[in-house]
């Protein structure tokens, strides 16, 4: 059993408990539920840099990354840096995040917000919308084709953008459907945790042009982004590279300025 399997088992227990505590009707009554979403996919299509910067306190592979800076500080810093979107980890047990982080980020900026979560149930999409998300992540490694279809259709009905993440060719082939906006290639091997952008390069030609291509994980320098732009990638999800510094917003600002040159 790999770490992803363990996370999903715990996530099912967590979602089942939440469903009993907070009914869908209560989530739908949120003042944010009727808020029009900002499209990350649309922004990425016209951006020269395509940076999606992440708020992440810790991870299973790196333990503590940054527990010091507040979500609001990070969100404002990223927004001022000119990111296209902000990814907010909401998993508690493995990443130290929460839905409150999403709310605090939403209260701070108008930047498109991605709820970075292990989504296995439609309830989590209602949660995302109620807490101010604009985009949801679906992970092909933990969902079958029918689940991807059901979840992505509901997301579109809610006005949310959909980023579908794959790790290999098999996951990509089972996932392609019109209810997706962006296809993300995670450069991290889930079994070995090795990271290489060659994964993004290899899969780029298999992603239909109607989807925005996003490369995820292992991007910490300008050169790989320049390389991947040649392969048609318009979005780049960067997590630890900014968060491991004392001032993630300033780090993002300097990175984006260098990328624009």
pLDDT at 73: 96
pLDDT at 4: 87
Q: Is 216 a catalytic residue?
A: yes
Q: Is 147 a catalytic residue?
A: no
Distance CA 91, CA 121 (A): 14
Catalytic residue among 14, 47, 56, 117: 56
Rounded to 10 degrees, what is the CA torsion of 14, 12, 88, 21? -30
Q: Is 56 a catalytic residue?
A: yes
Confidence of residue 60 (pLDDT cuts 50, 70, 90): confident
- Computed over every residue of the chain, the mean pLDDT equals 95
State mean pLDDT over 78-86.
Answer: 98
Confidence of residue 176 (pLDDT cuts 50, 70, 90): very high
Distance CA 142, CA 119 (A): 9
pLDDT at 63 over 80: no
Confidence of residue 69 (pLDDT cuts 50, 70, 90): confident
Catalytic residue among 47, 59, 116, 213: 116
Catalytic residue among 117, 127, 165, 171: 165
pLDDT at 226 over 90: yes
Q: Is 38 a catalytic residue?
A: no
pLDDT at 65: 73
Residues 6+ apart with CB under 8 A from 156: 162, 179
Both structure tokens of 98: 């929460």
At 95-117, the pLDDT tens digits run 999 999 999 999 999 999 999 99
Confidence of residue 172 (pLDDT cuts 50, 70, 90): very high
pLDDT at 84: 98
At 124-163, the pLDDT tens digits run 999 999 999 999 999 999 999 999 999 999 999 999 999 9
- The phi, psi pair for 131, rounded to 5°, reads -110, 15
Catalytic residue among 54, 117, 171, 240: 54
pLDDT at 62 over 80: no
Q: Is 76 a catalytic residue?
A: no
This prediction has a pTM of 0.96
Q: Is 217 a catalytic residue?
A: yes
What is the percentage of the chain residues whose pLDDT exceeds 90?
A: 88
Both structure tokens of 103: 């709310």
């Amino acid at each position: 059993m790999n770490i992803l399997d363990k996370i999903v088992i715990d996530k099912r227990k967590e979602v089942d408990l939440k469903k009993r505590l907070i009914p869908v009707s209560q989530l739908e009554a949120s003042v944010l539920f009727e808020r029009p979403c900002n499209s990350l996919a649309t922004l990425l299509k016209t951006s020269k840099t395509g940076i999606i910067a992440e708020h992440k306190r810790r991870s299973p592979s790196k333990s503590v990354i940054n527990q010091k800076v507040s979500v609001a500080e990070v969100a404002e810093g990223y927004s001022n840096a000119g990111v296209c979107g902000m990814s907010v980890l909401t998993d508690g047990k493995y990443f130290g995040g929460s839905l409150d982080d999403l709310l605090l980020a939403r209260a701070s900026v108008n930047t498109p917000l991605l709820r970075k979560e292990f989504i296995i149930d439609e309830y989590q999409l209602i949660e995302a919308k109620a807490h101010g998300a604009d985009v949801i992540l679906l992970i092909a490694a933990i969902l079958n084709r029918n689940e991807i279809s059901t979840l992505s259709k509901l997301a579109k009905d809610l006005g949310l953008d959909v980023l579908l993440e794959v790790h290999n060719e098999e996951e990509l082939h089972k996932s392609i459907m019109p209810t997706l906006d962006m296809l993300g290639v995670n450069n991290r091997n889930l079994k070995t945790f090795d990271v290489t952008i060659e994964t993004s390069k290899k899969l780029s030609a298999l992603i239909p042009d109607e989807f925005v291509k996003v490369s995820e994980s292992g991007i910490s320098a300008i050169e790989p982004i320049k390389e991947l732009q040649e392969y048609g990638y318009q979005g780049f999800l960067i997590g630890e590279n900014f968060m491991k510094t004392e001032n993630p917003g300033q780090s993002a600002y300097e990175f984006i300025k260098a990328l624009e040159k």
